[in-house]
């Protein structure tokens, strides 16, 4: 069997700063859920709807940045360093434009959407209140994605950890003072969580700009030269990035529909699902780190014309990722009540969340395999194929979720079983493409 020249240590070197960054980033989600879980079930449920709606939009920018990251890694592998700056600049042009369009559009459309899809009046109004502030953060989040694409693409990922630590510290402090009105600050409730997140994203944006100017050889990479806008270049970037945008957008639309369907089961079921979502996202942290590494490393080895190493490299990354996820799964199984109590002090909510926690612990294993294989597909540059796979799987995901919600006497843990189905199908389709698809000579 062909082996890859990239060692476990090299994979870990790229992945661990992203994992650490994701851990710190998740502190934001944990603190939002933990603080709002002590305000009330309505606020907890509304934050779930609001944050998933926000993430669905922000995934357009995130998907574009993954496409950019793949191209940057390819140029880095080809030793065309001076082309990287132009790619990043044009990515930022597009991301800022996209963010402005989304903010303006959602300010107008969001109330109409929520008025028509949310049944609970309290959930509806609290979700609107949260998003009126949170949506502003899109602009700064998109700028941050551009910098993230640059640093992951050139395999200098430690700065992402530092930036995310700054975000988390800012968010935790502001959550504490703005949600409850501590230290003389006004009491904003659910709006305080949104304001805290926006300010944290602004702080990260400022840090990225400062760090890049201070510690990166901008001339070597051709950064901050603000060349004339080139539509042909943006078109080339979009050829790779647009399918990634749609892929990530559709992925989170699936999750948004999941929470809309669960909301119809009642405020208690929605509160359970927000707690479980927060725990589930923690289990996905190693997956995000290793899938980002997969995207960059696959594109890098193809740039070096070492296509025979792709599948061995994916399998090597998969072993590391499974090891990390299994640690978290075992913790959930060993001390489930203690894990859930981080997010809420409501004893009924804790007990009712236990079955769903066991379900998502199993789902995390399936998602590990599925996501690493899927990132191998997108890392080859065949982003139209990865988009097609995601579209097929999400359509099935939404359909199965709808059917599970509408089963007579259905419970929320039964609905969460759809995550196991999702991980299995996306892994199977990705494996079949990597094994039999024609991707070895794809140029980007």
Length of the chain, please? 444
Helix (H) or strand (E) holding 161: helix 158-180
What is the pLDDT at residue 326? 94
90: left (phi > 0), else alpha (psi -120 to 50), else beta?
A: alpha
Please tell me which residue, 439 or 231, carries the higher pLDDT value: 231
**Is 434's pLDDT higher than 50?**
yes
**Other C-beta atoms lying within 10 Å of the C-beta of residue 116:** 8
Among 17-21, 144-148, 341-345, 431-435, the minimum mean pLDDT is found in 17-21
Contact in structure between 314 and 268 (CB atoms under 8 Å): no
Structure tokens at 149: 């694409």
5 confidence band (pLDDT: 50, 70, 90): low
Q: What is the mean pLDDT of residues 132-154?
A: 92
Contact in structure between 158 and 17 (CB atoms under 8 Å): yes
Mean pLDDT, all residues of the chain: 86
Contact in structure between 378 and 389 (CB atoms under 8 Å): no
Contact in structure between 270 and 45 (CB atoms under 8 Å): yes
DSSP letter for 135, please. Answer: G
Instruction: Give the tens place of pLDDT for each residue, 81-109.
Output: 888 999 999 999 999 999 999 999 888 88
What is the percent of the chain with per-residue pLDDT over 90, rounded to a whole number? 35
Cα angle 203, 204, 210 (rounded to 5 degrees) comes to 90
Chain mean position to CA 109: 24
3 confidence band (pLDDT: 50, 70, 90): low
What is the pLDDT at residue 202? 96
Instruction: Give the tens place of pLDDT for each residue, 360-398.
Output: 999 999 999 999 999 888 888 787 888 899 899 999 999
**Other C-beta atoms lying within 10 Å of the C-beta of residue 350:** 20
What is the pLDDT at residue 1? 46
Instruction: Provide Rg for the chain, Cα atoms.
Output: 21
- CA dihedral 434→437→443→444, nearest 10 degrees, is -60
Cα angle 242, 247, 252 (rounded to 5 degrees) comes to 130
Structure tokens at 435: 């094994």
Backbone angles phi, psi at 155, to 5 degrees: 65, 35
**Which has the closest alpha carbon to 37: 225, 252, 279?**
279
Structure tokens at 102: 């989304």
188 three-class SS: coil
What is the pLDDT at residue 441? 61
Q: What is the mean pLDDT of residues 39-58?
A: 81
444 confidence band (pLDDT: 50, 70, 90): low
Contacts of 89 (CB under 8 A, 6+ apart): 223, 224, 225, 226, 227
**Which has the closest alpha carbon to 84: 246, 227, 273?**
227
**Is 176's pLDDT higher than 50?**
yes
Instruction: Give the tens place of pLDDT for each residue, 26-35.
Output: 666 667 777 8
CA 388 – CA 394 distance, rounded (Å): 10
**Which has the closest alpha carbon to 194: 179, 173, 177, 204?**
179
Q: What is the mean pLDDT of residues 279-299?
A: 81
What is the pLDDT at residue 305? 74
Structure tokens at 36: 């709002």
Q: What is the mean pLDDT of residues 326-337?
A: 94
Q: How many CA atoms lie within 13 A of 154 on its CB side?
A: 23
Q: Is the dihedral of CA 259, 262, 266, 271 positive or negative?
A: negative
What is the pLDDT at residue 296? 74
DSSP string, 218-263: HHHHTTT--PPP-HHHHHHHHHHHHHHHHHHHHHHHHHHHHHHHHH
Q: What is the mean pLDDT of residues 102-126?
A: 86
Contacts of 238 (CB under 8 A, 6+ apart): 67, 94
DSSP letter for 307, please. Answer: G
- Cβ-count burial 149-186 (b if 16+ within 10 Å, e if not): bbbbbbbebebbbbbbbbbbebbbbbbbbbbbeeeeee
């Amino acid at each position: 069997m062909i082996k890859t020249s990239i060692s476990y240590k090299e994979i870990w070197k790229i992945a661990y700063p992203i994992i650490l960054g994701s851990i710190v980033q998740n502190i934001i989600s944990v603190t939002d859920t933990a603080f709002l879980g002590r305000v009330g079930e309505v606020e907890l449920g509304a934050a779930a709807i609001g944050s998933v709606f926000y993430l669905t939009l922000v995934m357009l920018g995130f998907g574009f940045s993954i496409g950019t990251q793949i191209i940057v890694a390819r140029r880095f592998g080809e030793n065309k360093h001076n082309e990287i700056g132009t790619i990043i600049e044009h990515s930022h042009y597009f991301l800022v434009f996209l963010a402005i369009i989304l903010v303006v559009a959602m300010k107008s459309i969001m109330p109409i959407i929520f008025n028509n899809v949310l049944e609970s009046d309290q959930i509806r109004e609290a979700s609107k209140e949260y998003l009126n502030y949170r949506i502003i953060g899109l602009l700064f989040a998109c700028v941050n994605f551009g910098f993230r694409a640059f640093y992951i693409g050139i395999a200098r990922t430690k700065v992402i950890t530092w930036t995310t630590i700054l975000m988390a510290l800012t968010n935790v402090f502001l959550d504490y003072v703005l949600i409850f009105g501590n230290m003389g600050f006004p009491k904003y409730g659910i709006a305080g969580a949104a304001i805290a997140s926006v300010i944290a994203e602004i702080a990260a944006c400022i840090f990225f700009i400062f760090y890049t100017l201070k510690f990166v050889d901008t001339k070597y990479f051709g950064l901050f030269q603000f060349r004339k806008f080139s539509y042909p270049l943006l078109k080339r970037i979009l050829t790779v990035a647009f399918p990634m945008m749609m892929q990530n957008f559709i992925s989170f639309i699936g999750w948004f529909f999941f929470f809309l369907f669960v909301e119809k089961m009642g405020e208690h079921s929605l509160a359970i699902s927000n707690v479980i979502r927060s725990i589930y996202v923690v289990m996905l942290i190693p997956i995000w780190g290793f899938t980002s590494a997969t995207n960059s490393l696959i594109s890098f080895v193809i740039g070096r014309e070492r296509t025979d190493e792709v599948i061995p490299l994916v399998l090597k990354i998969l072993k590391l990722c499974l090891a990390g996820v299994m640690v978290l799964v075992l913790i959930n199984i060993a001390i489930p009540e203690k894990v859930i109590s981080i997010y809420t002090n409501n004893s009924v909510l804790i007990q009712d969340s236990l079955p769903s926690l066991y379900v998502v612990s199993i789902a995390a294993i399936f998602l590990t395999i599925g996501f690493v294989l899927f990132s191998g597909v997108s890392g080859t540059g065949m982003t139209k194929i990865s988009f097609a796979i995601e579209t097929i799987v999400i359509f099935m995901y939404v359909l199965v979720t709808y059917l599970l919600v509408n089963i007579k006497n259905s419970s929320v843990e039964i609905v969460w079983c759809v995550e196991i189905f999702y991980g299995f199908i996306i892994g199977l389709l990705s494996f079949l493409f990597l094994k039999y698809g024609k991707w070895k000579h794809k140029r980007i």
